[in-house]
């Protein structure tokens, strides 16, 4: 088994490598791919030094799986070339997510739709993953009519340069501004670029991607995405209107019993999800469950996850594990 990691020196790529070790994923050859200036440098993996290779060398090696986290342009340019070499690509960019020919996968929800013919598999947006993880089991039980979601997203979702901007601001250092305003001691209602409808690209991902993953184009979803001065972990306030009536006790039970979710919901003991404690964890944490008293059949919830792990790298690795376990590569 050969696995290529494209974007191996980036924030998500480094977590992918870490998870391949942590989860003891079966592989004989690792092919870390990075920019040309990094080719020939070494990284540490499973106690050994492994040289970074060029994109072409990785393609020539014909790996069974290539994990991409190097941006949409790179994915569009090189994912098809890996496929031509017989490789199955799992892509963490937005390049293929809404393409009807590519499946958008959260393994706990819809991995069963994958086949050997799926050669480019899309990994959803980080904010989408944690939202659908929390909502999918409730949709099965109650049906969903409408979702209102507001996100509070860490700067690591933007990348290393954003983390550096915040560190510079905290240390009084002039440096590159990734955001149009300071981020330290601030929050920006602005994740990704603005679109013609005045929503941001991140907000529209939260509208479109859940419909595809949950297999329901009728879902009414509206989103506001906010960037906050936190290095790791995304939080979401979700208001969900169900088609059927519910009891809070039943909702708690469903969440408690769902793989990949952790229920943290006890107002009496101040127990609720927080990004500080979701850091470096693979689960999605759910709490602040309460009925919306302004309209029927509607629930408020607070959902937190590590955006670099379950929101990106962990989900990607889980897809690879599913493919290997089911003989699809």
Which are the catalytic amino acids? 126, 234
Decide if 75 contacts 68 (C-beta within 8 A): yes
- Can you state the percent helix, strand and coil of the chain, rounding each to 5? 35, 25, 40
* Neighbour-count burial for 287-319, b at 16+ CB within 10 Å, e otherwise: bbbeeeeeeebbbebbbbbbbbbbbbbbbbbbb
Distance (Å, whole) CA 36 – CA 33: 9
The region that residue 327 occupies, defined by phi over 0 for left and psi between -120 and 50 for alpha, beta otherwise, is left
Rg over alpha carbons for the chain, rounded to the nearest Å, is 20
Any long-range contacts for 249-254 (C-beta under 8 Å, 24+ apart)?
250/141, 251/138, 251/289, 251/299, 252/289, 254/137, 254/138, 254/141
Measured in degrees and rounded to the nearest 5, phi and psi for residue 73 equal -60, -40
Strand-pairing partners, residue 240, are 147, 299
Tokens of 276: 């500080």
């Amino acid at each position: 088994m050969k696995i290529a990691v494209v974007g191996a020196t980036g924030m998500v790529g480094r977590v992918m490598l870490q998870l391949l070790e942590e989860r003891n994923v079966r592989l004989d050859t690792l092919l870390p791919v990075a920019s040309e200036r990094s080719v020939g440098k070494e990284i540490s993996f499973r106690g050994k030094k492994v040289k970074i290779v060029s994109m072409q060398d990785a393609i020539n090696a014909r790996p069974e799986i290539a994990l991409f986290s190097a941006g949409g342009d790179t994915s569009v340019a090189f994912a098809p070339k890996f496929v031509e070499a017989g490789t199955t690509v799992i892509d963490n960019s937005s390049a293929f997510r809404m393409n009807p020919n590519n499946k958008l996968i959260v393994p706990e929800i819809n991995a069963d739709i994958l086949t050997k013919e799926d050669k480019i598999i899309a990994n959803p947006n980080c904010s989408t993953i944690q939202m659908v993880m929390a909502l999918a089991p409730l949709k099965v039980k109650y049906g969903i009519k409408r979702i209102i979601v507001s996100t509070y997203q860490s700067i690591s979702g933007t990348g290393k340069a954003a983390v550096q901007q915040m560190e510079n601001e905290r240390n009084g250092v002039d440096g590159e501004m990734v955001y149009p305003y300071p981020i330290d001691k601030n929050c920006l209602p602005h994740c990704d670029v603005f679109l013609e409808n005045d929503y941001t690209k991140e907000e529209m991902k939260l509208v479109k991607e859940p419909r595809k993953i949950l297999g329901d184009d009728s879902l009414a979803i509206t989103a506001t995405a906010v960037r906050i001065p936190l290095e790791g972990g995304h939080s979401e306030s979700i208001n969900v209107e169900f088609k059927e009536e519910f009891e809070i006790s039943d909702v708690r039970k469903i969440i408690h019993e769902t793989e990949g979710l952790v229920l943290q919901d006890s107002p009496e003991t101040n127990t609720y999800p927080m990004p500080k404690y979701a850091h470096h964890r693979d689960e999605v944490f759910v709490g602040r469950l309460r009925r919306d008293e302004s309209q029927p059949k509607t629930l408020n919830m607070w959902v937190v996850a590590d955006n670099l792990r379950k929101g990106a790298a962990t989900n990607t690795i889980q897809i690879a594990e599913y493919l290997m376990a089911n003989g699809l590569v």
